[in-house]
Amino acid sequence: MPASASMQDIRTRYEQARAALSSPNPNLDAIRPQLSQLKVGLIQLAMETEQVLADPAFLELQRSVIELGAELSIKAGDIVAFERYLAQLEPFYFGGRLGLAESKVMYPLIGLNLLRMLSENLIADFHTMLERIDLEQLQTNPFIVHPVKLEQALMEGSYKKVWQARSEVPTPEYVFFMDILMTTIRNEVASCVEKSYASLPLADAKSVLFFSNLDGLLKFAQEREWTVSPADKRITFKAAAADACAFQGESIMKQTLGYARELERIV
Amino acid sequence: MTSDNTAAMEVEATPEQTLAETRRILLEGIRAQRVDISRSIRFVQRGIAAAETHYIYRALRTLSSLRKRLEPSVLADAIAANAASDSAPATRDCLNGMLALLGQQPAPAPRAGACEPEVCLFLGLLVLLHFLDSGRHEHGVELSETLAGVAAGSQRRTVDPVTSRIYFYYARFFEVAGRLSDVRTALLGALQAATLAGMKETKAMLLTLLLRNYLHYKLYDQAERLTAKSGFPEDAPNNLLARYLYYLGYIEAIQLNYSQAQMHLLEATRKAPSNTATAGFQQAAHKVYVIVELLMGNIPERSLFRIRTLRKSLLPYLELTRAVRVGDLTRFQDVVNRYESKFLSDNVLCLIQRLRHNVIKAGIRSINVAYSRISLRDICLKLHLDSEEDAEYIVAKAIRDGVIDATIDHEKGFIQSAEAHNVYETSDPQLAFDKRISFCLGLYNDSVKAMRFPDSSHRKELAYAIEATRRERELAQELENEDYDDESDDDGMDEDL
């Protein structure tokens, strides 16, 4: 077993990895082994001496390494890994923060996590997370305000605003999730459109569904099984099946039998 | 001494006499208190002897009246009387610890027999109340920890009600001291022990305390998981159930599970007694309830805001409801800004911010009812929306979510409301009836289950039944004999023939 690295050693290696990630065109594959080495080093250090866990310098280094991992996974587009890193960061970010000062990347990462929840349609988790963020940050921090505004627009149905919000991202990392969000929105809009319009001209449908060209729209229409008539240049939607009024014999039978049984017990 | 003289004395009493008078009243009070405490302790002892919890409850019921006039010296005497040397070491140490914390020199008292843990905990409860009221929180923290230790050592059914109260004050002292997170492990351990030992009331209490603990630190995920993984005891006292339901409803509201939240909050308000003592709970529960109702798209009853104990504290919520009902976004924003600090202290600001789209929905719904056809531009103006495009998306979403029944004409830019159809053609009324019928049947079943019968009455019935069978047997025997006679008669008749 190799002798474990000292804390100073790990810090230097962390700085190197951080510098590599911050460069304009980072080589992600090169950073990944560095990151796992850092993690192994930290664990070895923690296993050797228990009291290092109470050392703020060690905790801060640990937090920085996890943050590095989170940022790396965003750059690589690995959502599962990102989620895992954020779960690890939770004790550092909420509650007593383990006695550490606030991290610089804390709010950008929380904002990204919020955006991830939106893009995966985890609205309940989104709101649970919001409850835990300070109100002041909630109203002023640009990294948090952006997803909050997005969520409001989404809930109202102002999809145009959501579409515009793509160009107003606070950091370039947000674009990754915004792109996923756009697909979600397009599906949302499509399900709204199906219900609320009888038919729609192709040109209008293109703008309503945020398509830049007709081909994309036609393909999308095919996926959702809409009928497109090339002659009129219109999309016609299926009428909703009106079977709500059908007589539900079985459930009524079950209910009546249930009443009979209960009454039998009373009399 | 003549009667005139006594009258005069009563009118103008000298300072010494007033002093004597107050002292007499004081002594009387102390004597009454001593009697009350020893009576409560006797109740506890009788409860232990008969293994019946309702004697214990009777002793616990005197707590609130004792609390108001608690004298440390009387308490110390009572403790000293019970600190006999032949009780279990943990109990004895605990009692001696109480005496030390009280800092009173008890009068030498005749020693009673061994002190049961229940009695020790009951006395401990009184001391805790004294510490809480006199603001000696550090002492309370220290004592409640020892008491929790004693409580954990004994798992009898009769300890259950006392233990649950001990844990309540245990958590309370730590909360007052601002160290709520320190007790979490202890409470979780106690919850495990209580569940294994089948101590229902303690388990119910610990669950509510843990939920409170989690919510205090906004750990909604943990709280939700705790409720999902553990069942709340069915026959827990109503006040605990009400508290539990309130926390449950709040957690569900945070996690957007509005229909469940509404049900639980409503039940919480109904289970809690509605007197002035519980006004605080009623207010807190109703605040969340009103918001959840609004989030679900319902408008709470106007009469709710007129209830005397609620009227004042629900005023901001009434204005909020008005704004949502009309569907006026600017008015809504105005109310939120005006009462921001109030909503923040009630911990509901985030919930209220979710209401924004409900306001818009309410607006769209009222427009849809009023107009059979309206242009998107007019909707935009009426609801203060930013653009017609937004209005179109918003209306489309409202149609999909079933808020309104209408179609949009994109080219001409208007929305056309669908014909209102007859509800009685659908199965909705039938479902509503079913809901009510099952509620009535459930109520009946619950009340049958909740009926209690005095213990001895079934014995009387049993004796009566034994008597009846005996008489029946006699009767049968007589009949048999008669049969025999008849037969002999028949025989005789045969012979006659």
| Burial readout A156-183 (b: 16 or more C-beta within 10 A, e: otherwise) | bbbbbbbbebbeebbeebbebbbebbbe
Query: Going by C-beta distance under 8 Å and a sequence separation of 6 or more, which residues neighbour residue B448?
Result: none
Summarised one tens digit per residue, pLDDT across range A32-80 is 777 888 888 878 877 777 776 777 778 888 888 888 888 888 888 788 8
Residue A122, burial from CB neighbour count under 10 angstroms (0-12, 13-18, 19+): middle
- In B286-335, the DSSP E strands lie at none
Which residue does chain A place closest to B430, by CA atoms?
Answer: A252
Which residues of B are less than 8 Å from A255 in CB distance? 434
Residue B493 pLDDT > 60, yes or no? no
Task: Look over chain A and give the mean of its residue pLDDT values, rounded to a whole number.
Answer: 79
- pLDDT-derived band at B9 (thresholds 50, 70, 90) equals very low
Give the pLDDT band (50/70/90) at residue B245. Answer: very high
Measured in angstroms, the CA of A28 and the nearest CA of chain B are apart by: 34
Cα B267 from Cα B232, distance rounded (Å): 15
Contact B389 A135 (CB under 8 A): no
Q: Which helix (H) or strand (E) holds B10?
A: helix B3-11
> What's the pLDDT at A21?
73
DSSP-derived pairing of the beta strands A199-201 and A234-236: antiparallel
Query: How high is the pLDDT of residue B111?
Result: 57
Task: With H, G, I as helix, E, B as strand and everything else as coil, classify residue B417.
Answer: strand
Q: Which residue of A has its CA nearest to B395?
A: A157
pLDDT digits (tens, 9 = 90+) for B185-232: 888 988 888 888 888 888 999 999 999 999 888 888 889 889 988 888
ipTM here: 0.73
**Beta carbons of B255 and A197 less than 8 Å apart:** no
Which of A138, A193, A196 to mutate: most B Cβ within 10 Å? A196
- B386 contact A CB<8A: yes
Q: Has residue B265 got a pLDDT over 90?
A: yes
pLDDT (tens digit, 9 = 90+) per residue, A87-133?
A: 888 878 876 666 667 777 788 888 888 888 888 888 888 888 888 88
Q: Which residue type, as a one-letter code, is found at position B441? A: L
Is the Cβ pair A204, B400 closer than 8 Å? no
Pick among A127, A236, A267 to test the B interface (most B CBs inside 10 A): A127
Note whether A155 contacts B: Cβ–Cβ < 8 A. yes
SS3 content of chain B, % helix, strand, coil (to 5): 75, 0, 20
- List residues bridging with B373 in a β-sheet: B416
Which of B360, B383, B392, B393 best tests the A interface by mutation, with the highest count of A CBs <10 A? B393
Nearest-Cα residue of chain A relative to residue B380: A158
Q: What is the rounded distance in angstroms from the CA atom of residue B71 to the CA atom of residue B82?
A: 17
Q: Is the pLDDT of residue B418 over 60?
A: yes
Virtual torsion, Cα A200, A203, A208, A212, nearest 10 deg: 150
- By the 8 A CB rule, do B242 and B204 touch? no
Per-residue pLDDT at A7 exceeds 80: no
Exposed / middle / buried, residue B127 (Cβ in 10 Å: 0-12, 13-18, 19+)? buried
Q: Give the model's pLDDT for residue B264.
A: 92
Neighbour count for residue B394 (Cβ, 10 Å): 27
Band of residue B379 on the pLDDT scale cut at 50, 70, 90: confident
Give the pLDDT of residue B105: 64
Contacts of B434 in chain A (CB under 8 A): 255
Average pLDDT score over residue span A140-164: 83
- Measured between beta carbons, which residues in chain B are less than 8 angstroms from residue A249? none
Please say whether the beta carbons of B60 and B90 come within 8 A: no
Q: How many CB atoms lie within 10 A of CB B182?
A: 11
Closest among A47, A239, A68, A130 to B255, alpha carbons compared: A130
pLDDT, tens digit, for every residue of A170-203? 777 788 888 888 888 888 888 888 888 888 888 8
B406 class by beta-carbon count within 10 Å (0-12 exposed, 13-18 middle, 19+ buried): buried
Give CA angle at A248 (A245, A251), nearest 5°.
145
Q: Is residue B450 very low, low, confident or very high in pLDDT (cuts 50, 70, 90)? A: confident
**The pLDDT value given to residue B54:** 79
